[in-house]
Homo-oligomer: A and B are copies of this chain.
Amino acid sequence: MGRLSFVGLGLGASGITLEGVDELKSASTVYLEYYTTPHEPRLLTEIERATGKRPVVVDRDFVEDGNRILTEAEGKRVALAVLGDPMIATTHNELRVRAIKKGVETRVIHSATIASAAASASGLHSYKFSRTVTVTRESVGRLTQAYHILHQNILEGAHTLLLLEYDTQSGEGVSPADAMAGLLLAEGNFKRGVVSEKTFAIVLSRVGREDAAKAAGGFESLSKGEFGEPPHCVIIPGRLHFTETEAVSAIFAIGESDVRGNSDGVLRTAQTLVPKYVSKTRKALDSVRNRLGPQYEPVVENAELYMKDAETFLANGEDEMAMLSIGYAEGLLDSLGFAGVVRIDW
C-alpha cells in the first residue's frame, strides 16, 4: 500500500532523526525540496550516506503542483524530505490534506525547526516568545504588520523572532540590516517608540549548522555587522528576567550591562495619555473652581471622581475604562466652556 511521508531534515546537514532515516530507507522514492532555505552543501551527500538513497531534488513548483507525488504515493511509499520541521510550510500541509482526501496514508516525522531552535539558542526563555514574524522581500519596505506585532509583544514583555526570507533560486533575501532598517522606517511612520538605533537585538545566522554565527547588540552596531551566508534571523527581546540577561551575556560574550530588554520605554497608549490628561484636567479644574457658582458644584465633584477612577483603572491595566473615565471628566468640564458658563484655559 502507498504512503506519503513528510520527513523533517532539521537544521544542519545531519539534522534528520533516526526515525527519519528509517523512513527514507523504506521509501521507494525520496524527493527533496530545499529551495526556500539555504542549506549546507554536504546535506545531499549526508542523506545518501545515512539512508543509501539518492534523493530526487525538486523545486517548489513541483511540490505545489504535487500531482506526480500524489499519484506515486497511491501505489508505493514516497517520502518528501524537507528542511526543518516538515509541516511548518503551508505548501506541505496542503499536500498532506490532498493525500488524506485521496485516501493515501500520510506520516509526519518532526525535526528541529528554526522557530524553536532560535529561541533555544539565544539563552532567552522559550515560553516568553510571542508571535513570530516573517520578513519577506516584498514586506521589508513597509513592515506595518511586523511593527504592530513587535509592538504588541514588547508591550507584553514578550520576545519576538523575525525570520528573514531567502530564496535560494533567485539568490535574493532580506539581511538583518534590511530588517532593522525596515523597522526603523515603520517607527518613523507610526512613532510608538517601539524601536530605535539603540534597540537591543540578537542576530543568529545558520542556526544548527557547523558555521553557525551569532551576535548581540544595539540596532546601530548590528546594522554594520557582517553575518555571512543566509539563513539569518533576528530576535528582539521584550522584558528580560535576570537569568536571561546572564545567559545572553555568557552566550554572546558581552557584558551584562550591555544586555538590555526593550519593554521598559514602550508604553501603552493609555499609559502615555491618561496621566497627561489627568494633570491637564486637574489644572483646568483648579483654574475655574472659584469662578463657578454653587449650581456647578456637582459638575466639579463628578469630574474629580472620574479622574480618580481613571487613575485606578490605569493602575489595574484596564486601559479602555481609564480612557473612558478621563474623557468623561474632560467632557464634564469642557461643556461649561462650550456653553459660555466659564472660560477654561486648558
Contacts and interface: CB of A to CB of B under 8 A. Distances in A.
Interface of A: 8, 10-12, 14-19, 21-22, 46, 50, 85-88, 90, 93-94, 96-97, 100-101, 108-113, 115-117, 119-121, 123, 125-132, 134, 152, 156, 158, 207-208, 243, 246-247, 250-251, 268-270, 273, 277, 295-296, 298-299, 302-303, 306, 318-321, 323-336, 338-341
B330 A116 contact: no
Contacts of A327: 323-328, 330-331
B14 A110 contact: no
B298 A10 contact: no
What DSSP secondary structure best describes chain A's contact surface? helix
A340 B115 CA distance: 63
B338 A332 contact: yes
B339 A87 contact: no
B339 A93 contact: no
A78 B158 CA distance: 33
Contacts of A101: 250
Contacts of A298: 338-339
A131 to B, nearest CB: 5
A268 to B, nearest CB: 8
Most buried by B among A110, A299, A329: A110
Given A8-B112, A127-B131, A130-B131, 6 more contacts: A14-B18, A15-B17, A17-B112, A273-B320, A328-B331, A332-B334
Contacts of A126: 87-88, 115, 132
Given A90-B125, A131-B158, A321-B269, A14 B14 contact: no
Nearest to A118: B110
Contacts of A10: 17, 110-112
Nearest to A302: B338
A321 B110 CA distance: 45
A192 to B, nearest CB: 12
B250 A100 contact: yes
8 contacts: A14-B22, A18-B18, A18-B21, A96-B250, A96-B251, A302-B338, A320-B320, A334-B335
A193 to B, nearest CB: 16
Nearest to A249: B97
Nearest to A271: B320
Contact of A333 (B132, B320, B335): B335
| 8 closest residue pairs by CB, A with B | A331-B331, A327-B327, A335-B335, A87-B120, A110-B112, A14-B18, A14-B19, A324-B327
Contacts of A90: 125, 243
Contacts of A332: 331-332, 334-335, 338
Most buried by B among A50, A156, A321, A339: A339
Contact of A12 (B19, B88, B112, B121): B19
A328 B158 CA distance: 33
Contacts of A100: 250-251
A147 to B, nearest CB: 14
A46 B18 contact: yes
Nearest to A338: B298
A123 B93 contact: yes
